[in-house]
Chains A and B, each alone.
Chain A
Amino acid sequence: MGKGWVALLMGVTVTLAAGMFLSPSSVAQVPTLGRNVKVGIVDTYSGPPAVFSNDALNGFKLALGEINRDGVLGARIEFVTRDERFSPEIGLSMARELILQERVDLLVGTINSATALAISALAREQKIPFIVWISKSEAITGAQGHRYVFSTTENTAMAGKALAEYFARKPFLRFWIGAEDYEYGHAITNSFWRFMKRAKPEATLAGQTWWRTGEPDLVPYLTSIMAGRPEAAFFGTGGAGMANVLRTMLTVGFAERVPSAIHTAIDFTALRPLGLNVPEGVTGTTDYLWYYPETPANQAFVRAFQAAYGTPPGFPAFHGYNTAYFIAEAIRKARSLDREKIIDALEGLRIRSPVGEVEMRACDHQVIYPIIAGVTKKNLQLNAIVAANPVILRGADVMPTCEDVARARRR
């Protein structure tokens, strides 16, 4: 056989080999998952927190619609969901049922921090990935974090630090804390005050007032805080409880007399039911606003969400949307439904979100989001309360360091 024949044969062989990888037929060679992906969601769909849980679920569904158009390695992502009625015991039994009966590949939930921590322990025991998408207790990926739990929401460590650093720029020294007596109330309060003392060591605590979750009448609480004549107040409360604080502030003229800060006080989902009945000038923080920043990606997300659900997305929808993309991208990267491989793929994974690229930090499984700070202001054009003069604080700057997290986990 002459050299010409050898060259020709080699050329054909190389072309065929390359074709195996590059031709459309090579797609069929990519290992498919063989079955659809099943996600089990446990969240609160009864009572006031349902506003947030439904928003998150809608964001998740919107993303699944986009993802399932082409599928993930030949499969679709499906989900089943359960109402834990804001009870850790119920949430835990539902998560167990989803793992054992429904045989889900991943767990997602919940707005209730206490439930999230309970399910997190179960996920560790059952070795199944659990992605927390609304509840914000820093213990979830901090002190009680582990290999099987992830968070696609900002946490109280990030929010408390962002709010403290932003609020510390103002000339207040004598603070009062008013908070709701539950997991989130304690977590956000501890974080805010810890970072406020770090940012401004001379700050003092004039007093603390705590009330039970769902306390209907906050007038005596806020009037007693005003009687203590603090220079500023921080409120550790969220959702309907926070809305109640804002309403009562308006009734007793609190905001005009005591400058106040609340995480999520500028959040669209929490403010929507109040219309314009919110005091102006209250400092707030959030990790997502549908109207800011005005990037094409965010505007496209808002348009799609509004077309699907008739309202702009709140922060839970943003988290739900990102959660779906984290799951899809992790499975694509893992090329498998093996739980350990999915976890490995999630660590350090970056996805394109409506506000730009976001990363799932490998060391603690906590998503890195920028935090937006601003003060409440009426916007008659939008007929809503918006954040005036918003400032974006870099996610990496407001997160605890990996060493901090490791230390907290050792404790």
Chain B
Amino acid sequence: MDLQVIGSQLLVGLSRAMILFIVSAGLSFVLGVLRVPNVFHGSLYMIGAFAAFTIATGLGSNAAGLWLALLAAPLAGAVVGLVVERALLSRLYEREHLMLILFTWGIMLILNDVVKLIWGADYRSVLAPPILRGAAHILGAAVPRYNLFLLLVGPLVAVGMWAFTHKTRLGRMARAAAVDREMVGVLGIDVSRILAAAFLVGSYLAGLGGALVAPTTSITLGMDHTIIIEAFLIVTIGGLGNLWGALVGALLFGVTQSLGLLIWPQFAIVFPYAATVLVLLVRPTGLLRSVW
């Protein structure tokens, strides 16, 4: 097969992996710090996408509006996440995981209806900023410019999250709370505020994933279901709560899907799932160390 084709398909797969990584990193962070398997994480992603639509169209879909949509829409996911965490979830942290899964599942169903009430049932569409439209030619192969942009954003988010968790006081406290919540409390730190901040960061990443995916797809009700399944698989194969594990898992998922399309297009749908099964057979706790 043509090397150019493989190269461009690899780039496209890597860029898809970046969206998956950003959403999964948020889920993984919440899992690691709060021990909450947050099923409505996908809803925050969907809210980020719909908010991007509202901001972009509200500002006339001009270049500035589209950039602002990418920057501001994630805040919608963050705010909704924070409100739910403060009002409801914070009362349930001591409950068992099954209870938390069912609770966050219920919130997902409610948020789906809230989104329907606000934005209606129509699917929506947002354009990328003009500079990111069309395809760039790399070694003779056409790759959408927007996908190249995603290839820049993904590593920036990875580095940013690493810097936040290792170089900031809040991040270090969040890591400490992930290891021993009681000990952090004994030291006189307001653990509740740390957990809220961690949930805010995780929700922001979900919203960011939604805002970034908006120019590449139809924004629809139900887009939360698809992403949440993939995100849970990715954090599981990467190692629960491990940021770099989320990156490795997302890369594995995106690249096997993309290259699988060149190998066996009729059944490419199974490649990422087959890779997941294989990883879990070999390393049931995930590729990198789980923080659970």
Chain A residues packing against B (C-beta within 8 Å) = 45-48, 50-51, 54, 181, 207-212, 214-221, 223-228, 240, 243-244, 247-248, 251-253, 272-275, 277
Contact = CB atoms under 8 A, between A and B. Distances in A.
A161 B272 CA distance: 35
Contacts of A274: 125, 218
A24 B13 CA distance: 75
B123 A51 contact: yes
Contact of B217 (A47, A210, A247, A277): A247
Contacts of A225: 265
Given A210-B266, A217-B216, A277-B127, 14 more contacts: A46-B221, A48-B121, A50-B121, A51-B123, A214-B223, A214-B225, A216-B226, A223-B12, A244-B217, A244-B218, A252-B135, A252-B144, A273-B218, A277-B125
Contacts, number: 131
Interface in B139-190: 142-144, 146-147
Interface residues of B, number: 47
Contacts of B12: 219-220, 223
A46 B122 CA distance: 10
B242 interface: no
Closest CB pairs A-B (n = 10): A50-B121, A224-B261, A209-B265, A227-B5, A48-B220, A220-B258, A47-B222, A240-B123, A216-B217, A244-B218
Contacts of B142: 223, 226, 252-253
Contacts of B19: 217
A244 B216 CA distance: 8
A227 B122 contact: no
B9 A223 contact: yes
B218 A208 contact: no
A275 B133 CA distance: 16
B257 interface: yes
A337 B125 CA distance: 46
A120 B122 CA distance: 28
Nearest to A226: B142
B8 interface: yes
Contacts of B9: 220, 223-224, 227
A81 B144 CA distance: 44
14 contacts: A45-B121, A207-B266, A209-B266, A215-B226, A218-B217, A219-B15, A221-B268, A223-B142, A224-B258, A224-B268, A227-B5, A251-B135, A273-B124, A274-B125
A217 B215 CA distance: 10
Contacts of B135: 251-253
B125 A251 contact: no
Contacts of A217: 16, 19, 213, 216-217
Centre residue among B127, B147, B218, B257 by max chain A CB count within 10 A: B218
B254 to A, nearest CB: 8
Contacts of B116: 46, 50
Contacts of A215: 226
Contacts of B278: none
Contacts of B13: 220
Interface string B42-68: 000000000000000000000000000
B2 interface: yes
B222 to A, nearest CB: 4
Interface core residue of B16, B143, B220 (most chain A CB under 10 Å): B220
A46 B125 contact: no
A131 B114 CA distance: 32
Contacts of B125: 243, 247, 273-275, 277
Contact of A240 (B128, B218, B258): B218
A272 B269 CA distance: 29
B123 A251 contact: no
Interface in B202-237: 213, 216-218, 220-223, 225-227
Interface centre among A48, A217, A243 (most CB of B within 10 A): A217
Nearest to B258: A220
B261 A47 contact: no
Contacts of A220: 9, 12-13, 16, 257-258, 261
A181 B133 CA distance: 29
Contacts of B5: 227
B112 interface: yes
A114 B127 CA distance: 33
Contacts of B258: 220, 224
B2 to A, nearest CB: 7
Contacts of B8: 223, 227
B2 A48 contact: no
Contacts of A277: 125, 127
A240 B144 contact: no
B66 to A, nearest CB: 12
B138 interface: no
Nearest to B20: A217
A214 B122 contact: no
Interface string B246-288: 0000000000011001100111110000000000000000000
A48 B222 contact: yes
Given A208-B266, A209-B265, A273-B123, A47 B220 contact: yes
Contacts of B16: 217, 219-220
B134 interface: yes
Nearest to A275: B125
A356 B133 CA distance: 44
A308 B267 CA distance: 46
